[in-house]
Amino acid sequence: MSTEQKQTINVGDNVTIHYRCTLEDGTLASDSQETGEPITFEVGQKTVLSGIDDRVVGMGVGDTKSFTLEPNEGYGEYDGTRIGHLPHSNFPAEFVPQLTEGMVIPLQSKDGAQRLIATVTEVGEETVTCDFNHPLAGKTLTFDVEVVTIDGATTTTTDTEETTGDE
């Protein structure tokens, strides 16, 4: 009789998941199965949304789970003060005529140290108005996730290591 236990996700494990994210009205925001690009992250390092990071603990390979994230667990609350008016001179001249309302554009600080995305809300005669909130800020999100792989914690503990002396 086999007493094999299924490996489950713990903090510190590297995991790969497929996910489908929808808005409250059912609109599809993202689907890694469609793009063929699952995400891999170390659980507990907060490199993904905290709500995802927390909810995969205890899942095993092949397990699926659905859960809803409020804005504070997702991309944060919408902040109406994160609107900027950038002069056309901040963009390459050939890029300005291509800008349209609703377009999401990558930006970086003049020194190149900070990268962010912005949504164009208006293209004026001399300025481009940009919303620096994440496009999903303030939204309640529903995720359907499936665990693809689990790689155990990358840290080692010396109290369980075995040496052979044959090195």
Condensed to tens digits (0 to 9), the pLDDT of residues 6-18 reads: 899 999 999 999 9
Give the structural domain span for 99.
83-131
Condensed to tens digits (0 to 9), the pLDDT of residues 19-64 reads: 999 999 999 999 999 999 999 999 999 899 989 999 999 999 999 9
Q: Give the amino acid at 9.
A: I
Calculate what percentage of the chain has a pLDDT beyond 70: 89
N-terminal to C-terminal alpha carbon distance within the chain? 38
Query: Which residues does 131 contact at the CB level (< 8 Å), separation at least 6?
Result: 82, 83, 118, 119, 121
Which CATH number belongs to the domain containing residue 39 in this structure?
Answer: 3.10.50.40
Q: What is the structure's pLDDT at 40? A: 96
166 located within any domain: no
Environment class of residue 130 by beta-carbon count within 10 Å: exposed (0-12), middle (13-18) or buried (19+)?
buried
3 located within any domain: no
57 located within any domain: yes
Residue among 16, 21, 3 at smallest CA distance from 62: 16
pTM, two decimal places: 0.75
87 located within any domain: yes
- Residues 32 and 111 grouped into a single domain: no
